[in-house]
Amino acid sequence: RLKPFNRLQVILQHLKMSKHTDSTAEVLLEKRGGAGIITLNRPKALNTLTISMIRQIYPQIKTWEQDPETFLIIIKGTGGKAFCAGGDIKVISDAGKVGDRLIQYFFREEYTLNNAIGTCKKPYVALIDGITMGGGVGLSVHGHFRVATEKTLFAMPETAIGLFPDVGGGYFLPRLSGKIGYYLALTGFRLKGRDVQKAGIATHFVESEKLSALEEDLIALKFPSIESIAEVLNSYHEKSKIDQEKAFVLDEHMEKINSIFSANSMEEIVKKLKQDGSAFAMKQLETINKMSPTSLKMTLRQLREGASMSLQDVLTMEYRLSQACMRGHDFYEGVRAVLTDKDQFPRWKPAALEEVSDEFVDDCFKPLGNNDLKL
């Protein structure tokens, strides 16, 4: 039997947890066995990330990291459609239009959370079932394990809304094999299912219907370690038969991707696509022509520089870029065209790559002095 004091502690702990397991809460935080479990709970909004969710998840990760009774952290989404479709971009756009400070602290706190995941001392397992884009990638890709399913849809579509692949995209994208990361960042190409694992974004592939059994097996581990968690994940991965024989979707194009996307400038990439002239190259050209020219130039430089930087330095750089986008025109226009009016016809300023000067791009990367992100 529990001593009275211990019993009180247990009750208080339970109350604290049950407050968060209220089904209407945006994020559910619970402890099961030795596992801390984060559940993104905005299914109608495809679990898009709000500032209040960030403010609940970050301190909880930090607490669990210090807790000797917590051995692993699992993050997942509710609703069956999405792990997390990104940050709540519309809210940020509305805030930026009226000069609200949310445009500073949202990115600051989101990137601080991305860094906490990237440096987490406890094994961190993200179950990326369904749509995983933008901010959802930031919540998963920097952890030890990412489990994709046949329902996973991965993309970094930011250049289409006048942003750039942030949340540490400058760190993980250039580290993917060949120039896949550059291709994904500039075109917003969507990877599905097993291809997310074949590209090196997910560490494992497990059938969606097996995820709850996988979760139970992870929770049941007595003293989970990176090795014992990897063993469980490997055994599920090996038993997954869906699309096992299918070649990686980009296999046949990898040679072209590696040669074209290794160019030093956006203008050169466009030139190489035109020279190539294949159906694949023309399709990429058509896609790139729809993106914000400013975003494209910013993104190419972000990845080229991020390739040799630490995650912390990348996030500091990306915070500078986020604030440049908030000061600019294209982000608000992109959100209008894609998310608000949905006319899919953004009027970018400048409208052509040639008009985005090197000086302007340099300016986006400049330190912000006292306002820089400090990690």
**Active site residue: 77, 86, 87, 136, which one?**
87
Task: Report the distance separating Cα 326 and Cα 151, nearest Å.
Answer: 33
Give the number of other Cβ atoms within 10 Å of residue 212's Cβ: 11
The verdict on whether 36 is a catalytic residue reads no
Distance from first CA to last CA of the chain, Å, rounded?
A: 45
- Is 243 a residue of the active site? no
The residues near 116 (Cβ < 8 Å, ≥ 6 apart) are: 58, 61, 62
Query: Is 328 an annotated catalytic residue?
Result: no
Kindly name the residue from 86, 96, 130, 135 that is annotated as catalytic. 135
Three state DSSP letters for 301-345:
HHHHHHCCCCHHHHHHHHHHHHHHHHHCCHHHHHHHHHHHCCCCC
Contacts of 101 (CB under 8 A, 6+ apart): 95
Strand partners, 35: 32, 72
Angle in degrees, CA 115, 50, 122, rounded to 5: 35
Active-site residue identified among 88, 158, 215, 318: 158
Strands 131-133 and 82-84, bridge-based pairing? parallel
Q: Is 166 a catalytic residue?
A: yes
Q: Which residues participate in catalysis according to the annotation?
A: 87, 135, 158, 166
